[in-house]
Amino acid sequence: MTTPGLLPASALALCLALHARAAPPAAPPSTPALLERGQAAYASHCLRCHGPKGEADGPLAAGLKVKPYNLARYQLQAAFVFGAITEGVPGTPMPSFARLSAEERWAIAYHVEGLGPGK
């Protein structure tokens, strides 16, 4: 028995992962609506470790074996954040968020870019 649909889906995921490593897929333009979505998605997916302003002080931070990165200390670029959340950081508590749509990941990436000191 083969499962039609499974191969194309995994091939697509692999393609996206490889593409993200080389150069991120075309970023949607940053708009107020996308930023608003990013703020909400950050609150659901990232705040518990990285804290409300990215200062590595979320409610789970103290209990992690590897401390979360302080997202507010240096000015991060959205493309870097997109790559980090797509791949995660293996061997640390930082998970991959590849299951979120690329648009959602870009929304979060723009929000995180806005947490930096240069914004």
Q: Specify the residue, 12 or 89, whose C-beta has the smaller distance to ligand HEC.
A: 89
> Under the criterion CB under 6 A, does residue 94 sit at the interface with ligand HEC?
yes
Which residue among 40, 45, 79, 96 contacts ligand HEC (CB under 6 A)?
Answer: 45
Q: What is the rounded distance in angstroms from the CA atom of residue 108 to the CA atom of residue 8?
A: 27
> Under the criterion CB under 6 A, does residue 73 sit at the interface with ligand HEC?
no
- Taking CA atoms, 26 is separated from 4, 30, 57, 77, 82, in Å, by 29, 12, 32, 14, 11
Q: How far is the CB of 15 from ligand HEC (least distance, A)?
A: 21
24: left (phi over 0), alpha (psi -120 to 50) or beta: beta
Which residue among 38, 68, 86, 102 contacts ligand HEC (CB under 6 A)?
Answer: 68
Q: Specify the residue, 19 or 73, whose C-beta has the smaller distance to ligand HEC.
A: 73
Which residue among 102, 107, 112, 115 contacts ligand HEC (CB under 6 A)?
Answer: 112
